[in-house]
C-alpha cells in the first residue's frame, strides 16, 4: 500500500510573460484553483504578470492561501501583486528561492523561460542531494516540455543522471493526475546511490 504525503503548500514556478497563448494562462489559473480546492496553499514568485498572476488569481478566487515571494528589485519596478494572503519582499533571487522552498512541501513547474527552468532544476537537485525530500512535478501543457523530457531521458541513457533519479521530475499533462502522483511518490535517499559516484 502506497503511503500518501500531506501537503500544506505547493510552490509553483512559471513564466512572467504576458505574450503567451491563452491556453497557458488558462492552465495556470486552473492549477492555482485546483490546489486551493484541495485545501493547500500556493507559494509563487509574487508577480502580477504572466502565468504567475494567473496562478495566484486562480487560487485566490477559490479562497486559497497565496504567498508571494519577490526580490526588492522587482518590487521596486512595481511588479508585485498586492492582494495576496502575504507578500514577502526579500533581498535577492537567492533569498527568494530559499524562502519559497522553505515554505513549500513540493514544487510544480508550468511553462516558462530561463527563470522557470533554473528554479525547477535547483529544486530537483536539492531533492536529489536530500537537502529536502519534496516532490517535483512538471505540468506539460500542450507538449511544451516535450524536448526537455527527451533531454532528461538522454541524460539517463548516457549515464549523467542515475536510473534511481530518472523519476525525480514527475511529468504529466493532467494536473489532477500530477498532484496525485506527487502525493504518492517515494523519493530515493542519498545512501541509495552515493557509493557509485
The whole-angstrom separation of Cα 42 and Cα 100 is 10
Flag whether pLDDT at 66 surpasses 60.
Answer: yes
DSSP letter for 82, please.
Answer: S
Flag whether pLDDT at 76 surpasses 80.
Answer: no
Q: Would 8 be classed as within a structural domain? A: no
**Cα angle value 74/78/84 (rounded, 5°):** 90
The whole-angstrom separation of Cα 42 and Cα 120 is 16
Q: Would 59 be classed as within a structural domain? A: yes
Q: Which domain holds residue 171?
A: 14-146+157-188
The whole-angstrom separation of Cα 67 and Cα 101 is 12
The whole-angstrom separation of Cα 21 and Cα 19 is 7
Q: Would 9 be classed as within a structural domain? A: no
CA atoms within 13 A on the CB side of 135: 21
- Main-chain dihedrals φ then ψ at residue 70, nearest 5 degrees: -135, 140
Flag whether pLDDT at 2 surpasses 80.
Answer: no
Q: Would 95 be classed as within a structural domain? A: yes
Q: Would 133 be classed as within a structural domain? A: yes
* Span 37-63, pLDDT tens digits: 999 999 999 999 999 999 999 999 999
Q: Would 151 be classed as within a structural domain? A: no
Residue-wise DSSP of 139-151: E-GGGTTHHHHHH
Provide the whole-model pTM. Answer: 0.92
* Span 133-157, pLDDT tens digits: 999 999 999 999 999 999 999 999 9
Q: What is the pLDDT of residue 78?
A: 64
Angstrom CA distances, 55 to 13, 58, 186, stand at 10, 5, 27
Domain count, the chain: 1
CATH number for the domain spanning 77: value is 3.40.50.450
DSSP letter for 47, please.
Answer: B
Q: What is the pLDDT of residue 193?
A: 53
> Which percentage of the chain shows pLDDT scores above 90?
79
Q: Residue 46: left (phi > 0), alpha (psi -120 to 50), or beta? A: left
Q: What is the pLDDT of residue 80?
A: 82
Amino acid at each position: 500500500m502506497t503511503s500518501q504525503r500531506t501537503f500544506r503548500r505547493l510552490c509553483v514556478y512559471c513564466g512572467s510573460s504576458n505574450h503567451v497563448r491563452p491556453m497557458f494562462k488558462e492552465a495556470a489559473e486552473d492549477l492555482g484553483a485546483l490546489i486551493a480546492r484541495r485545501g493547500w496553499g500556493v507559494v509563487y514568485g509574487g508577480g502580477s504578470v504572466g502565468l504567475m498572476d494567473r496562478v495566484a488569481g486562480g487560487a485566490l478566487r477559490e479562497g486559497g492561501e497565496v504567498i508571494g515571494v519577490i526580490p526588492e528589485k522587482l518590487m521596486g519596478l512595481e511588479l508585485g501583486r498586492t492582494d495576496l494572503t502575504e507578500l514577502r519582499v526579500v533581498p535577492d533571487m537567492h533569498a527568494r528561492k530559499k524562502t519559497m522552498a522553505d515554505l513549500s512541501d513540493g514544487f510544480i513547474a508550468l511553462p516558462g523561460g530561463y527563470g522557470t527552468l533554473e528554479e525547477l532544476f535547483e529544486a530537483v537537485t536539492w531533492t536529489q542531494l536530500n537537502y529536502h525530500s519534496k516532490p517535483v512535478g512538471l505540468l506539460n501543457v500542450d507538449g511544451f516540455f516535450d524536448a526537455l523530457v527527451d533531454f532528461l531521458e538522454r541524460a539517463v541513457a548516457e549515464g549523467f543522471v542515475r536510473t534511481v533519479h530518472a523519476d525525480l521530475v514527475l511529468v504529466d499533462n493532467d494536473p489532477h493526475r500530477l498532484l496525485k502522483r506527487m502525493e504518492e511518490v517515494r523519493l530515493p535517499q542519498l545512501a541509495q546511490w552515493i557509493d557509485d559516484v
